[in-house]
Structure formats: structure tokens, C-alpha cells
Amino acid sequence: MILSSTLDAIWIPVTLCIPFVLLTSTLKKVPGPWLAARTRWYKAYFDLICDGGFLKHLEWLHEEYGHVVRIGPNEVHFSDPSAFDLIYGSRSKFVKDPIVYNAFKQELSSFGLLDPHEAKKRREILSPLFSRQATLKLEQAIHEKVDKLVDRVLSYEGGMACNLFMAFRSATLDIITSYCFAKSFDTLDNPGFQHPILVAVLSGITVIWTFKYFPCLYLVAEHMPGWLMHRISPTSKGYTNLFGFLSKYLDMILADSSVLESADHETIYHHLLHPKLQRYQVPSKKSLLDESLTLLGAGSETVGNVVTTGVFHVLSNERILNRLITELDEAWPDASSYMGYQALEKLPYLTAVVKESIRIAHGVVTPMPRVVGPSDAFISGYHVPAGTVVSIGITFIHENQKIFEMPKNFWPERWLEHTSKDIESNFFIPFSKGPRMCLGINLAWCELYLLFANTFRKIELKVHNTGIEDFDFQQHWLPVFRNRQFHAYVRARQ
């Protein structure tokens, strides 16, 4: 026993040092800050002390060192768009970096599974629910929430400004819970759109870097008494409610799967608990809970942010606003009638506005790390040994001046030019690419068309006490906004 412990004490640090020794000799040719090549705490300083400030620093690093930068002892970032397919494309065999993805504590979800084969099986089970056909089948459920959003926003007519930042996020949270679980938290009903679960989801985004660098703190938080956690972090009460709701619902389903028969439509649990794949093991409760939280988080904040950002930019440019409203009025003369997703996606300028909103809002702003393997790779002119963590942030493509003219400007017309199809197929990647791309892409498109169209066809908006500077964000995997939330005065359009 003593000998075993002694060998462990010697072997563990030696094995940890081997990758560093092997990689340093090769990666020393990659340009970058001296300190970044020697310690991961260089990056941690910007993630933690600078409140998610590494993305802004990374932009400066590329200006200083070129299109390839070493950002850690074992980590390289690329800004050359050609690197994206090599790292994330369908032929890539690179796996997710466990240090980052385990920080989400959703290891048994389609997002958190590190084994590509296990992740593929999970996606094959869930994919039918998120196909275009399934989305069209459940469009009415989405539209009900959009109608409710319009009614709730218009309830502010003649009064105080409406908090659209929270309103749009309330809608997308209600949509994803209704779509996936056939149940809703009814966050749209909450006064001021301040539902505790939504507030908890938004505040919880910022803990990702803490759990990445100090994973032991998650264990502390997990075993901390609820009353103490709520005193330290009042917003955590919303998470307690969320976990409690999902846990009780899963207990009911696992005890008696016939509970699902009363659902209004198919849910993720219909697919996960009654899969059509052979030799498939039904997930554990922990896995089901992880999957639920993954879909809830991925499907609410990202879409909500795109709508918030896009609506503000449209309202900030009278020419864009008038052109969009004219197109909607002509195609949809009677606003009291229903205009569906398939009709809306045929409107060219609405489509351009939706795409430009997606481009400028980004989605995941943190470069998604992958581990090179099983063999060495050659990326952007550099030999990269197996085991190296590599990435390219989506912002470095969507804001690339060689691809998108005036990339910081909101300009929907770029998607109406003859070159837009080539750009879209090669460089428009908000949902990523390859085997780990966003599962809910069809649902997201449907939501965005319905939300943008109904907002501008039925509501007249006037921005209140909000400027472009309020859309500056910090990088905590997703964008986190520290300034004023987007408000507007509203009235019904005739």
C-alpha cells in the first residue's frame, strides 16, 4: 500500500510533465507572449480578474503576433478562417477539451459527452425531435409563445418603457421548455420579465471560468446547505427551483413512463426513454437531467440575444426599419391573420435581417477548444502535435474584414448581394460545423423568423435609454452584458 502510494506520488507529476516537455519543444515555434507559453494562469488572469476579458485581449494578440498565437503551454489559437474546417469540420477527429467542457458539469449530455461515439448516439436519438419536419409540426406551440410575448410587450403601451432584453429571453426560455418538455415555466407571466429561473440562468453563465480553474469549488457548492447558498448568491434560488422542477418531473417519468402519454406533443424524454436504436442503454437520471439543462441553456440565451441585438440595430437605422416594415406590410397585410414560418422565410429582406442579426450577435463567443489527435496535424502552416488544444473563435470569422465588408456595421444588404451564397456556405457558421454542431438549428431559425416578423409587424418600438455601448460584452462562453438592458416604449401598430 505504501509502495503504491509512493509510486503514485512520483508517477502522477511525471506524467503531467511529459506532455509539457514534448509539446514545448514543438510549440516554441508558435509566436505568442512569453508568459502564456509557460503557465495557463496567463489566460486565467483575463478570464477571472478581467471578467471574461480574454477575447478582447486575444484580438490584440493576433494584431501583435499574426494569425497563429500560442495562448497557453499547450494551447494555440488561430484567426485564419481556413483553420475552422480542419478543427471542427466533419472530417475532424479532434475531441472536446475536457478541462473546459467538464466545467459545465453536464458531462452526460450531448454537449458534454467527450467520447465522439457516445455523443453521436445521443444526437441520433434526439435529432428527429429537432429536424425541420418536427419543427414545422410543432410550429403552433412556438407561435403561441410568440403571440404571448406580443401581448405582454403591448401591455406596456402608454406606460413605462418595456425591458426587451428580458422580454425576448423570457419568450425563448418558454419556447424551449415547451418544445422540449411540453411544459413551460411561464416566465413571460412574471412582472417585469424577472422570473427567478431566467435571472438564475443569466447569472449562472458567469461561473464557467471559476469552475474551469477551480473545479473543487463545484463540489463545495454542491454540498452546501441551500439556505447558505441562497444567502451567498440570492439568484441561486432560481437554480434550486429549476433543479427541483426537473428532478421531480424526471422521478415521475422514471417511475411511470405512461406520464408521457398526457403530454401535448413528443418531448426529449419520449426519445431518450424509448429510443429506436438497437443496443442502446436508457440514460440515468443524471444523464437525463444534464440533457435537459443543456437544451434549456443552449436554446434560450443564444436565440434571445440574437433577437435583442437585431431589434436594437434595426431600430437604430431608420432606412433598415422602413424597408423591413414595408416588406412585412406588403406580405402580411392583415396582422390579425397568421403568417407561418415557411412563408416568412421566403421574404428576402426579413431573411437578410435575421442573418445579419445572427452574425453580429455571434452566439458562443469563446473559441471552442479541441484536442488534436489521434495523430499530429498541420494547421495554417504550423505543425501541431497530438494532444495540443486548438481553437478558432467565431468572432474572428464573422468580423473578418476580408470576408465581411465593414464587419462591425449592421448591414442586412450584404446578404442580398450575389456573393452572399458563397459567403454563407463557407464563412457563416453561427451553429458551428461538423459532428458536434448545434442540434437545435432548425428550431432556432423558426423562432427567429417568427420573433422578428411578429415584433416588427405588430409593435411600434422607440428605443429608450439604450445605446450601442450597452451591447459591449464580456466573454463567459456566451456574451455577458454588464451595462444597461435594452428598453423601448411600445404601442400597437395599425
Q: Locate cell 478543427: which residue? A: 87
Burial of 35 (0-12, 13-18, 19+ CB in 10 A): exposed
* 375, 325 contact by CB (below 8 A): no
Decide the pairing of beta strands 389-391 and 75-78: parallel
Residue 93: C-alpha distances to residues 391, 393, 403, 435 (Å): 14, 19, 27, 10
CB atoms within 10 A of CB 468: 11
* 67, 82 contact by CB (below 8 A): no
Q: CA 485, CA 494: separation in Å to the nearest integer?
A: 27
Residue 216: C-alpha distances to residues 12, 171, 219, 439 (Å): 19, 35, 5, 30
| The three grid cell numbers given for residue 486, joined into one nine-digit string | 435594452
Q: CA 200, CA 230: separation in Å to the nearest integer?
A: 11
According to the annotation, is 438 in a ligand binding site?
yes
Q: CA 202, CA 168: separation in Å to the nearest integer?
A: 13
Cβ-based neighbours of 428, under 8 Å, separated by 6 or more:
355, 358, 359, 398
Decide the pairing of beta strands 377-379 and 389-391: unpaired
Q: Locate cell 420573433: which residue? A: 451
Q: CA 65, CA 32: separation in Å to the nearest integer?
A: 6
* 80, 68 contact by CB (below 8 A): yes
Select from 163, 200, 187 the least CA-distant residue to 297: 200
Q: CA 251, CA 235: separation in Å to the nearest integer?
A: 25
Cβ-based neighbours of 18, under 8 Å, separated by 6 or more:
none
Cβ-based neighbours of 397, under 8 Å, separated by 6 or more:
81, 84, 403, 427, 429
| The three grid cell numbers given for residue 139, joined into one nine-digit string | 410550429
DSSP 282: P
277-303: burial string, b at 16+ Cβ within 10 Å, e else? eeeeeebeeebbbbbbbbbbbbbbbbb
In one letter, which amino acid is 195? Answer: H
> Which parts are annotated binding residues?
438
> Which parts are annotated binding residues for heme?
438
